[in-house]
Amino acid sequence: MDITFKKKKDALVGDVIAKSNDLEHGVEDFEAEIENCFLGQKFITVSPECVRCNLCAEECPVNAIDSAKLTKPVKILDNCVKCEICAQTCPVNSIKVIESTSDLDDDLTYKLKTIKVPHRTLRMEKIYVDSDKCTSCGNCVKFCTTGAITVQEGEKAVIDKDACIGCGACANVCGEDAVTLERRLGNVFKTKELLVDEDICVACGVCEENCPVEAIKLEDDKIVFFKDKCINCEVCSKKCPVGALKLERLPNES
- 165-183 per-position pLDDT tens digit: 999 999 999 999 999 999 9
Whether pTM exceeds 0.75: yes
Q: Are residues 109 and 126 in the same domain?
A: no
What is the average pLDDT score of the chain?
A: 90
Rounded mean pLDDT, 122-130: 96
C-alpha 240/C-alpha 242 separation (Å) is 6
Does residue 254 sit within a domain?
no
Does residue 235 sit within a domain?
yes
Q: Are residues 43 and 126 in the same domain?
A: no
Q: What pLDDT shows up at residue 3?
A: 84
Domain termination residue (choose one: 115, 145, 163): 115
Q: Model confidence at 30, in pLDDT bands (50, 70, 90)? A: low
DSSP letter string, 46-57: E-TT--S--HHH
H-type alpha helices, the chain: 9-22, 55-59, 85-89, 139-143, 169-173, 206-210, 235-239
Does residue 165 sit within a domain?
yes
* Degrees, nearest 5: CA angle 78-84-90: 100
Q: Model confidence at 36, in pLDDT bands (50, 70, 90)? A: confident
C-alpha 109/C-alpha 254 separation (Å) is 21
Q: Model confidence at 10, in pLDDT bands (50, 70, 90)? A: confident
Q: What pLDDT shows up at residue 216?
A: 95
Does residue 141 sit within a domain?
yes
> 3-class DSSP state for residue 107?
strand
Does residue 203 sit within a domain?
yes
Q: Are residues 15 and 90 in the same domain?
A: yes
H helices then E strands: how many in the chain?
7, 14
Q: What pLDDT shows up at residue 251?
A: 85
C-alpha 162/C-alpha 178 separation (Å) is 20
Neighbouring residues of 31: CB distance < 8 A, sequence distance ≥ 6:
17
Q: What pLDDT shows up at residue 31?
A: 66
Domain termination residue (choose one: 185, 201, 216): 185
Least confident of 18-27, 57-66, 105-114, 229-238: 18-27
Instruction: Report which DSSP code applies to 18.
Output: H
